[in-house]
Chains A and B, each alone.
Chain A
């Protein structure tokens, strides 16, 4: 379980930050808590475009199973810096929608940010946020300077309250979990149905497994510029989540990549291009990303496919001279047709690249099986 914990202040020193760090340590066995800071975000304004920091912040929330807010109290409400962060999350964005949320807070004084926490509950319940805040549980820690000693909480009563609340939150997430549940089955819904192609039929299960088996991953942006599907291949280069399905292109790409992506998509729409290739290094190996215009039989635009995979094994073939005797012409026909019925007509060619295939597979592709 991945949780994002938001430090509700931009202050250099914060007891609320200490509280989250304590929770991160204390609940390590129950959840993976990632702490995010809000001091790098620009102040919210309707007129300011979201930058990379905002994009990363929104992604962190979107990809987590739940959010923990630790809020100080400033003037009987939440700090402006936290309010601004929430405005970014809610403005033209649905990352908080139905997201399980837990509110905690601590203050230097005895009030323990109680009024700020009430405001925060109301804010998170507003339609533009629509988070699922766990009700009936509160964590109010007053006199913070006495409670946190070397970053630890030693007061048994506070520990027990926090543990009860956190366990309730974990249960709450399990109950409200949606989306990734369907994913965890790793199965298409109708596994005994068939699609009849002019060239044969495939079961839904076969379709699913073909996409999981071929060594390239596929993402589809539909004709409305919405991210509508990705192949469920193990060890993907681009890690995707079903939470991103349905997002607009502008939401799923970071602001700095967006102009390039839109240019490609627009060139596919107006028909000026059909494909674009981008070689690049990812996770320490050579990867090729190819974008293809997905067109109907009549040529009309259906969407854009992003076809991504490691090309290490191909390049290894090449570097080991797999095609070097192709110049003689002997294997050329084989290389271009490649169909299985030709294999037996040239039995002497196959043994040689085969061992290479195994060895290069061993270095790059093994983890995918």
Chain B
């Protein structure tokens, strides 16, 4: 399977990026491409008049993928603006999320691990413009992310690794089920 993993921030140093790279390196049941969003401008209804190149590319990558993983930080109890902006682009003229399985994970330097941002993100992806198939349950919340990784970028805690693996296995099943269902549809 092929997944696109979106780093939900424009920050140079990001624990969410580390988390996605960890998944990329450790889960070989799927090919995970980690995508950064720094090159995507702030969403604006009027400017530019057509979708920026980076948006078109990301939309194409998502369209081709079997599923999307989003690493979602938390800013002010909600989704960071750079990630929200990307979703706005992808729910405006192009709609690559429509019917696409999406897994949400998140890391934060506080104990809650971006729990409130993840809830907002679920609601956002559920809106008609996005219309994604968000993988239910399986909330992966990495709190105190600043202490979670070793120098090689590996998660230190085995309980955390087990739970992430369990969530990811569940997502693989969810995607397979979704594809089965789509085939039945056709």
Contacts and interface: CB of A to CB of B under 8 A. Distances in A.
Interface of A: 9-13, 39, 43-47, 74-81, 83-84, 86-87, 90, 115, 119, 122-123, 125-126, 128-129
A81 B43 contact: yes
Contacts of A128: 76
Contacts of B124: 75-77
A275 to B, nearest CB: 41
17 contacts: A39-B44, A44-B82, A47-B10, A47-B11, A75-B125, A76-B123, A77-B124, A80-B42, A80-B81, A80-B84, A81-B42, A83-B78, A83-B79, A87-B80, A119-B120, A122-B78, A123-B76
B50 interface: no
A198 to B, nearest CB: 53
Contacts of B82: 43-45, 80, 84
Contacts of A43: 10, 41-42, 81-82, 85
Contacts of B12: 46-47
Contacts of B120: 77, 119, 122
Contacts, number: 105
B45 interface: yes
Contacts of A75: 84, 87-88, 91, 124-125, 127, 129-130
A192 to B, nearest CB: 47
A115 B127 CA distance: 10
Interface in B147-178: none
B77 interface: yes
A125 B116 CA distance: 12
Contacts of B85: 43, 80-81, 84
Interface in B43-95: 43-47, 75-82, 84-85, 87-88, 91
Contacts of A125: 77
Among the interface residues B44, B76, B84, which one has the most CB atoms of the partner chain A within 10 A? B76
Given A76-B123, A83-B79, 13 more contacts: A12-B46, A13-B46, A43-B10, A43-B82, A45-B11, A47-B10, A74-B88, A75-B125, A76-B127, A81-B85, A86-B76, A122-B77, A126-B77
B139 interface: no
Contacts of B87: 75, 80
A194 B85 CA distance: 60
Nearest to B14: A46
B81 A44 contact: yes
B36 interface: no
Contacts of B129: 74-75
A287 to B, nearest CB: 39
A123 B77 contact: yes
Given A43-B85, A76-B124, A80-B88, A10 B77 contact: no
Given A75-B91, A77-B123, A81-B42, A87 B81 contact: yes
